[in-house]
Structure 1
Amino acid sequence: MKFSAGWSKKLLKASLLFGLLCSPLTASNTGPITAKERASSMIQEGLNHLLLEQNKQAEEMFIKAKSIDPYSEQAYNFLGLIYLQEGLFEKAEDMLKRAVAIEPMYPEALRNLGKLYLRQDRFDEATTYLRRTLALDVNQPYTWYLLGMAQYFSGKITESITSYENAFSMEPNLPVEAHYNLGVAYHETSRYLEAVRSYEEVLKQEPAHINALNNLGLVYSILGEKDRAIDLFNQVLKIDNGNIKARINLGNVFLSTRDLVEAEKIYRSAISLDQSDISPRLNLGVVYYEKGDFANARAEWDNLLKENPDNVRVLSVMGSAYLERREYDLAIEVFKRMTELMPENGSIANTLGYLLADQNKELPFAKGLVEKAIELDRPNRATYLDS
């Protein structure tokens, strides 16, 4: 699954319009024109240029405005917005922080700082500034949307879902990528029916949205709707015949239904398109294994390990195959390597410990492994205590 960050230009324009609506610039019609009023007039002219995407002219007007009124938080904010749009992140940060220094409760500048840090993958800082923005006004759907993204990339997926749901409760017509991102968050937290609804909303608006088609196929596969999953992956391949993910996903459905002939055909087609992706090669070995052809299965896996001896995915599949075939010495060798590569994985430590004990080998070492597994993975203590 891939979370989408294709939001920046749309939201920059949206936030600009939001700022215009929320922060109108006014000037007195009587008496001599003050420096602040002249600066405000230049800011308004700069905004007109911004709306026409005439960034250079807009920048010139905002620079003039802040030279006339050095305490114009709006001039600094809109300069920061231009620099953010142009990818000049250091200059954007400098301007936006100056705006906030002048007016600490300026929501547009706070939100733009959050947006900047999101663009830079500085997710904790983005979260901080977006929360500060919402503390001033909770009714900001685009800010909730941005906060949801920052939380997702920080690994706080449940909080991300809440933020997205808040955004949609205020503005149902958010960009299609917001529906997609919420679907991914539901998907990753096993809220599959809600993920289906989100992905289907994406496809209602963009029927050729490849990532949504692929992910919806994955969800239906998990839910046991294999035919619907196959149809969705085939839809992807009609749009993009070279889509490796769709081919792998399609092969995996055939493998799970033990249609080994189709699975092999699909995996081979994926390999012919991209030999660097290990998934179809690894799974082709599984197809051989399921056919009872362990020699060819092992040959596929050995070739992958020659390219990368530390590939845990391949080692895991091989170790499980050796266990199933009761080739315990080979299984022990593989799981020992895995514990070296992943010393903090309780499940692997327990498997090796149990295997050694079952074979009456290296019993003190086996006991230490199981005890370590108990400490590393407390939710599964009961299973490991049995070991």
Structure 2
Amino acid sequence: MDIMEEQDWLSKAHRDMSLGRHQDALSSYEKALEINPENGHSWEMMGDIYYELGRHAEAIDCYDRVLKIDPGNLMARYKKGYTFRKVKRYEEAIVALDQALAIDPDFSYALNNKGYSLNELGRYEEAIAYFDRSLSTNPRNIRVIASKGIALRELGRYEEALKCFDRALELNAINGFVYYNKSITLRSMGRGKEADACLSRINFPSGMHHNGKED
């Protein structure tokens, strides 16, 4: 193995990334991996680039290569799960996120993304349990608070859902996503005027579904 040559390619990949030249960076990492195919960090960086390029299947393949080299790599397991969630493969996301949580049960990013995946599958009680675990250490996470509110709303627990949305708005009073979901909850409670007042506070963000869930 030519360690110096590998380092040269890795340095070039880093420069390419800093300049936004993703394809060049991929080529540089490939050259480095020809020299040292057991460099898990290089595989992980390639996975990150593929993710940024929207090439999700290739990103997952790279994270799998990392995990063959280092099965205990927390970030590779999390990134694999996150990528599965982003392409709506929620069951597979949960498997990968569970593996990350087996390494670190308090890893908030994995807790959050498992909760989001469970919400998408309609497993709201389970989702709430994961949101609560996350909020026990990160109580100001607006996305998690709002997602818990969505789960509570879907279970018909409207008053509890409103408390979540109001708490999220205390932390960020101009969050359109939260206002939108609060309006859905109010309308479900027959409080149409209050729902309309919430809607008047926002412009609809792109990528928002009719049920208030984000892409």
> What's the CA shift string for 1:47-83, capped at 9, x where partnerless?
xxxxxxxxxxxxxxxxxxxxxxxxxxx5xxxxxxxxx
* CA apart distance, 1:244: 1.0
* CA apart distance, 1:120: 4.9
Once the two structures are superposed, the pairs formed by residues 91-170 of structure 1 within 5 Å of their partners are 106-170=5-69
Q: In the alignment, what sits opposite 1:201?
A: 99
Q: In the alignment, what sits opposite 2:126?
A: 228
CA distance, structure 2, for counterparts of residue 230 and residue 138 of structure 1? 41
Runs (4+) off by over 4 Å? 312-317
Once the two structures are superposed, the pairs formed by residues 147-296 of structure 1 within 5 Å of their partners are 147-174=46-73, 176-296=74-194
| Larger relative contact order, structure 1 or 2 (CA cutoff 8 Å, min sep 6) | 2
* CA apart distance, 1:212: 0.9
Contact 2:124 2:154 in 1 (8 A): no
Q: Cα RMSD between the aligned structures?
A: 2.4
User: Per the alignment, do residues 314 and 281 of structure 1 end up closer, same or farther by CA in structure 2, a change over 3 Å counting?
Assistant: farther
CA distance, structure 2, for counterparts of residue 298 and residue 313 of structure 1? 19
Amino acid at match of 1:273: L
TM-score (norm 1): 0.50
User: Per the alignment, do residues 233 and 251 of structure 1 end up closer, same or farther by CA in structure 2, a change over 3 Å counting?
Assistant: same
Contact 1:148 1:163 in 2 (8 A): yes
TM-score (norm 2): 0.86
> What's the CA shift string for 1:14-46, capped at 9, x where partnerless?
xxxxxxxx557xxxxxxxxxxxxxxxxxxxxxx
CA distance, structure 1, for counterparts of residue 40 and residue 198 of structure 2? 50
| Structure 1: gaps of 5 or more residues | 1-21, 25-73, 75-105, 306-310, 321-387
Contact 2:72 2:103 in 1 (8 A): no
User: Per the alignment, do residues 295 and 315 of structure 1 end up closer, same or farther by CA in structure 2, a change over 3 Å counting?
Assistant: farther
* CA apart distance, 1:160: 0.5
CA distance, structure 2, for counterparts of residue 123 and residue 133 of structure 1? 15
Secondary structure of 2:88's match? coil
Amino acid at match of 2:147: N
Which structure would you say has the larger Rg?
A: 1
* CA apart distance, 1:222: 2.2
Contact 1:282 1:314 in 2 (8 A): no
| Structure 2: gaps of 5 or more residues | none
